[in-house]
Each structure stands twice: as structure tokens, then as C-alpha cells.
Structure 1
Amino acid sequence: MVPHFPRWIWSWAALLPAVAGSVNATALLSLRHVGVTHLTGISTEAGIGLGAGDVDLLAHAAGVIASFTLGCAMSATVARGPRWTPSIAAAGLLFGVALLLSVASLLLPERPWLGVMLCAGAMGIQNGLTSALSGALLRTSHLTGMFTDLGIALGQKARGAPVDARRVAVCLTVITSFIVGAVASAMAYATWQGRCLSLSAAFAAVVGLSTLWLSRRAKAAAGITTPRE
């Protein structure tokens, strides 16, 4: 059963998967590869590159894997607070995601390969952050686990076993948000091409600002003040 978690987590579940869905769709449309937010497909691409001797395909997959992994490592290094706790470090990482996506939006039209690598790094930061702060409950960059949990819930329902309604709600929220983000990005790409990533960056920045506000409010409620110079 999913433990009780603070209500602000729902804002992450509703907005950050939309960022990932839009980034994945934009990257896929830009390079016609398998996207940047899930490494199962990317690893398959690497295997095909090795097996077929396709150096370009292998280089693309290796770059995405390295960028995503480095992003996760960065999030683990910076965000070291307790679970379910908004922090200034978490907000800073989300601002970093917004910055990387903003730069990527400028690079994609002329240097799509480099832009896609920045997208992968941004999604690594985001997924590492959400996974660490939620105890792996919330993963915002891919949907395999969410669909797996939904399938398990359906099986439990079919045999009359108790169903974790909170987990199902999280899964449905993340799945819906991711798909909505992908749809919106696909529609925007027809007009703006890679520059539509600026919208994804704006969403990430909004979540960063809300996380910063929640962090300051939590500290104020606990009687913690930030020292001034």
C-alpha cells in the first residue's frame, strides 16, 4: 500500500509528467529516434547499433544514456533531504531542468543531436529528483511502471483482493499528464519545431517556483529562519 503523502506531491504528479511527455515527443520528432525519457528503448537502440555495426545509432544511444545517468547523479548529489519534503535544493534542480530545456530549444533547430542530449540530461535530473523525494513512488519520465501497477490493480480487483486506490490514482494522473504533454508538444511542433521546448521549460520553472514557495512555507511553519548576510 502506498503510504500517506503530502498533497503537494499531486502537483508534481500532474505537471512534471507533462514536461517529460512533451520533451520526449519533441526529441523524437527532431531526430526520429526513440525519445529520451526511457532507457529501455534507448538501450535497445544501443544493442541494435552494436549488432548492426551502426556507429551513428550507437553514438546516439550512448549519448542519451550518459546524459540521463549524469542528470540522475546530479539530482542525487544536490537533493539530499528527507522524503516528501520540498526544499530549496529541489527547487534549484527544477530550475536547472528549465534552463537545460531552454537552451535545448535554441539548439534543436540547428544542432538537434546536442539539443537532444540536453533534453536527456534534464529528464535525468527530473526523474532522479522525483524518485528520490517520493521513495520511488513517483517516476515522471516513463510509464512502464505505472501501467504495470495499473495491471496489477486490475488483477487484484478481478480476484476480489483489496486495491490500493491511492496508487491507482497516482498512476492515472501520471499517465494522463504524460500523454497530454506529448499531444500538446506534437501540435506545437508543427509550428515552432524544437522551440516548443520553451513551453516545457516554463512548466518546469513553474513547478520549481511552487516547490520553492512550499519549502519556505514549511520552514516558516517549523520556526526555521534563513540567515541573512
Structure 2
Amino acid sequence: MAQGYVKASDLPQVIPVFPLDGAILLPRGQLPLNIFEPRYLNMVDDAMAGDRIIGMIQCAGGPPHQPALAAVGCAGRITSFAETSDGRYLITLTGVSRFRVTNELGAPTPYRQVRAAFADFEADLTPPAEEDFDRPDFMAALRAYLGRRQLEIDWEMAEAAPREALVNSLSMALPFDPAEKQALIEATDLTARAGILTAMMRIDAAEPGDGDAPGPMQ
């Protein structure tokens, strides 16, 4: 159960959104954010005074000053909050559930708000069962991907991590482009997301230009 929410109807129908390409949130994932723009400081103030829910969402084209919003984002609850001496907020959002944007409201607030439909993603509120997972195949794809990019992770922790934590944390953290990130958000379930992530890592590792094989881990 996510943050005390049992069913989709427990979640607020109208939520503030933070459009940010490349920064996605997934259920039970944790996303640290450094908030400094006045409109988003206002958004955090209002969220902290209410249910602490903020929707992370990517953009889908349109003018830079008011880009269109992607169809699907993920709502998170502020689970950590600190204020710096220069007036910034350092917060952590913990993912609760994905949502579908029904429509954007003409809100009087400086930040954007949407009517959010959570019903299609009610399964997000319950951690998935630890089903069979071809971890060696997944880890091989991850090693090839990180090797090509000369990135490193804590392999011992990755090997021991539960499937959901491993797949969702990598989906959030790895530097895929916004369209690829959106595909990971919109994956039907965790099994589908793991398959998409594996394919994306293999495609990236196989791209020409860095030699015929991934280089050694640094």
C-alpha cells in the first residue's frame, strides 16, 4: 500500500504538476528535487499545507513558455523537506501512483494544475509480487550499457535489490532521452517496464562509434 492510499479514489482528483523533461518518478521510487523558481516554491508551500501530493510530468512539445503536457505522469508525496539559507527547498518525492491527465485547469496559481485520473493505474498502489525475473540477462544488458558509457554503480547492491526497486530506480536514473523515459512511465506493468528497459540498454550498448564491444568498467 502506497502512503496510506488503498484505491485510486483515495487520491486527489486535482493535483499540481511539475513539468520536467528527463526527470521521471515511478511508484515507490524516490526523486530528490532542488526547488528555486518562485512558482514552484509556491507549489511546494501549497502542497505542504495540504496532502503533500505533486505530479511529475514530462512535456510533449508546444511553446517553451507553456509546453503541452505528456498524457501520463506520476504523483508523488513529499516525504522529505528542508529549506536552505538562500530560500531554496530541498525535497524528496516518493512515488505513489501514475496518473492520466484528463484536462488542465485554468488555475489562478502560478503553477499548473491538472485533473488526474488514477483508475488505470490502481495496481501501482500495491507493491508487485517478486515474480521470476531473469536477473542474469538483465544484469548483462546493464553491464554492457554502463560499460559503453563508462558509468559505474554499486553492483553488490544491484544484485541484491528487489526487482521493483532495481528496475524502477534504473528507469529513473539512467540518462535516456525524454521519449524513452515516457515509454518507461507508460509501460503496462513492472514486467513490461523491465523488458523495455532491457531492450533500450541493449540498443544503446550496440550503437556504433565506441568500438565493437563495450570497454572495461572504470
- TM bucket by the smaller chain? under 0.3
What TM-score, normalized to structure 1?
Answer: 0.27
What TM-score, normalized to structure 2?
Answer: 0.27
Greater relative contact order, per chain length (Cα 8 Å cut-off, separation 6+) = 1
Structure with higher helix content: 1
Structure with higher strand content: 2
